[in-house]
Structure 1
């Protein structure tokens, strides 16, 4: 197998994967969730972007230090030991497939703008989300190169509404529509900063995907660093401008709690047709993000299996080098999560999945920073990143923290099965 086939991701594809995984359902939902925080939301975006950049630098540093490793999870296992490696990797994996449930629901809600019966009830919404999730899984079963090409296309498409939003904000700015005193908004409150940062950071999750897929990246020591920092920088700046602009261009009560705040914003100033167009682009953005995250939900357990921290059978791949079992198991769990919430209110589902996903993923970031401290990579940045991760985890609240730790603990049986599997292989040999 040639290096291009074994490592199909160059700089542009890796960067598209980073940006595509970050720009998804989070951005199109967060203005409504952050609007009640008012000016605190701006500080939250700045803090979330800064924290992501620091942690991204640490993860990139780990890839530079160990370019031969299959990914960040393998490096954490090597630095901290098998059991901590399993716990960190499992927490990340839980965050990935729970995020997929959130993203699939968001995509179907935006598609429902064009075909209302699709989102007319929680039952049809849930079925549509599960169906979409399995369709994207089938795409990824064709192999990483196919998924990578799909990611580049959807990333280019999803940048269109971002550009439209910035153009509209510029138009409003020139016309004085963005004056900070045009509409009353909540003043900055330091006590609300941590919860706001946790929400904002949900939209930043995904920047680590190039490091997680280092085994698929050409020249990972160099490419992962460039792709990760470029993706975080571009996406973070877009988030700060677009989300804050939407919040301050409209009355706080008009944005807070709405289902499609970005589409509402465009429709308010450019008309119904523009709002529909943005709804379509939002659906594409969510589907593109879902594609990237489905790819990762297979790559995460694959990296752990190849690193020897969980049973090797979990890492078995097809002729297309796809971890079929891990991919299908992840989608099945995400489907169960979606179906189990069929009787709940949509906003309650969103809040639950957002906080749990962010908390679970932040444990991985904390583990990456601890690993960097242990092996002596980017130690100042790692110390800052660790403090930020712990602070953001605290902002998720006790319920999400407890649940994320509980899900992480379910990895212990895998660690024990790893030993049993090794003994069974020795007896068979």
Structure 2
């Protein structure tokens, strides 16, 4: 009884899920969505429903799959060992891209303090390199330090985003919002699609929603509920905060901003408040980078422990930090940053965002299509099988729609990256076959 009372209820887990989801992904989106216009509120609604289906499916996967590896383990249930590798590989690449995008966001918010960082593409690249390197080195002391820093820095985005969602309506001008409805004069369907990859970016990380089932009361019921409620809460905050900004800052000005949340607080209060909010956003980006870089190092370590990544990724220090894996990841990040240099920070951010969203949909689809196998193995009731199958299928369909919305450049480039993964797996499969033939396996 004493042990059970220490476990989280549905309210506590809902808050945890929402906070985990609300990383730095939102802070550049108002400027990106300004190109779509305020019609992007419809994109948010579609994404919110799709994200809730995905969250529910992952909560169920986490309940029934007891193997380590997260999405990779879920996908293996239906698609076999090669799927475990491709899911791990594509998720790893997605996080590399995401880290560079977050670093670009941080540079955008640093510009009011250090104007030189966006004076030339080379200066921007140098600033991105410094941020990536510093946050990577900070991870060298292991998970405890990373966890402590991230638990504080997350408030750097929660405070301005949630705060704006509540108090921003006092400054909201409906005419500014209406005037920005569809600046590109696209069809309704085309406008909604143009905002889908942007809004989906804000929900990346949803796959971790069901990872805390062991610390929850009645996890069979409460974990899926908390995933749905937490995702819905995050969606409400996202929709409210971006809508408020679009009703305060004229669209033409918002499109040009490298720090939209700093800009809106400047217009609401004063330049000092705007700079304070901008500083909070920089802190949030740094904390988010710390967390995602360490997460990605653990993804590669887990794959290496399963002999699906090279052994070098599995080596850890006395502080339990896979430093060699981190350094390899930093090299990939710097290479990607150099390949995506752009005179416009927002263009660079959007290119990275679309590529990351497309590649992340690969493990999403592979993982969710493994749920029906898990449901059958665990002999759930026909009712639970039907409900879970329908919701997970809707999540898969939405993920495929997310791929379409990323655009041809992202799909083309991302497909090539994913196909290279099969080359790597071919060598691993050949190694395993040789072991079997020589009796070493």
User: Is TM more than 0.5 here?
Assistant: yes
Please say if residues 45 and 197 of structure 1, whose CA atoms lie closer than 8 Å, have aligned partners that are also in contact.
yes
> Structure 2 length as normaliser, TM-score?
0.83
How far the C-alpha of 1:387 sits from its partner, in A, is 0.5
Change (3 A) 1:128 1:120: same
How far the C-alpha of 1:370 sits from its partner, in A, is 1.2
Change (3 A) 1:156 1:346: closer
Change (3 A) 1:324 1:231: farther
Change (3 A) 1:259 1:190: same
User: What does residue 405 of structure 1 align with?
Assistant: 415
User: What does residue 4 of structure 1 align with?
Assistant: none
Please say if residues 36 and 256 of structure 1, whose CA atoms lie closer than 8 Å, have aligned partners that are also in contact.
yes
Change (3 A) 1:182 1:81: closer
Question: Matches of residues 135-174 of structure 1 in structure 2 within 5 Å?
Answer: 135-172=134-171
User: What does residue 340 of structure 1 align with?
Assistant: 339
User: What does residue 81 of structure 2 align with?
Assistant: 82
Change (3 A) 1:153 1:80: same
Residue 385 (str. 1) matches residue 368 (str. 2): no
Within 2, Cα distance between the matches of 1:14 and 1:149? Answer: 21
Within 2, Cα distance between the matches of 1:64 and 1:372? Answer: 10
Gaps of 5+ in 1: 1-10
Residue 184 (str. 1) matches residue 195 (str. 2): no
Within 2, Cα distance between the matches of 1:13 and 1:380? Answer: 24
User: What does residue 248 of structure 1 align with?
Assistant: 247
Question: Matches of residues 358-369 of structure 1 in structure 2 within 5 Å?
Answer: 358-369=357-368
How far the C-alpha of 1:226 sits from its partner, in A, is 7.2
Gaps of 5+ in 2: 1-10, 376-384
Within 2, Cα distance between the matches of 1:401 and 1:341? Answer: 16
User: What does residue 23 of structure 1 align with?
Assistant: 23
Residue 314 of structure 1 aligns to a residue in which SS? helix
Within 2, Cα distance between the matches of 1:69 and 1:428? Answer: 24
How far the C-alpha of 1:362 sits from its partner, in A, is 1.5
Select between 228-237 and 247-256 the one with higher mean Cα deviation.
228-237
Change (3 A) 1:227 1:92: farther
Within 2, Cα distance between the matches of 1:406 and 1:266? Answer: 42
Please say if residues 183 and 250 of structure 1, whose CA atoms lie closer than 8 Å, have aligned partners that are also in contact.
no
Please say if residues 294 and 327 of structure 1, whose CA atoms lie closer than 8 Å, have aligned partners that are also in contact.
yes
Please say if residues 63 and 224 of structure 1, whose CA atoms lie closer than 8 Å, have aligned partners that are also in contact.
no
How far the C-alpha of 1:249 sits from its partner, in A, is 2.7
Within 2, Cα distance between the matches of 1:311 and 1:122? Answer: 34
Change (3 A) 1:63 1:20: closer
Residue 259 of structure 1 aligns to a residue in which SS? coil
How far the C-alpha of 1:231 sits from its partner, in A, is 4.6
How far the C-alpha of 1:115 sits from its partner, in A, is 2.5
How far the C-alpha of 1:243 sits from its partner, in A, is 0.5
Please say if residues 20 and 151 of structure 1, whose CA atoms lie closer than 8 Å, have aligned partners that are also in contact.
no
Change (3 A) 1:388 1:317: same
User: What does residue 275 of structure 1 align with?
Assistant: 274
Residue 357 of structure 2 aligns to a residue in which SS? helix
Alignment RMSD? 3.0
Within 2, Cα distance between the matches of 1:141 and 1:417? Answer: 31
What is the aligned residue count?
411
Please say if residues 105 and 129 of structure 1, whose CA atoms lie closer than 8 Å, have aligned partners that are also in contact.
yes
Question: Matches of residues 118-267 of structure 1 in structure 2 within 5 Å?
Answer: 118-172=117-171, 177-179=172-174, 183-187=178-182, 189-209=188-208, 214=211, 219=215, 222=219, 228-229=227-228, 231-267=230-266
Within 2, Cα distance between the matches of 1:135 and 1:42? Answer: 36
Select between 108-117 and 88-97 the one with higher mean Cα deviation.
108-117
> Structure 1 length as normaliser, TM-score?
0.85
How far the C-alpha of 1:228 sits from its partner, in A, is 4.8
Residue 102 (str. 1) matches residue 101 (str. 2): yes
How far the C-alpha of 1:45 sits from its partner, in A, is 0.7
Change (3 A) 1:45 1:35: same
Change (3 A) 1:28 1:393: same
How far the C-alpha of 1:428 sits from its partner, in A, is 8.8
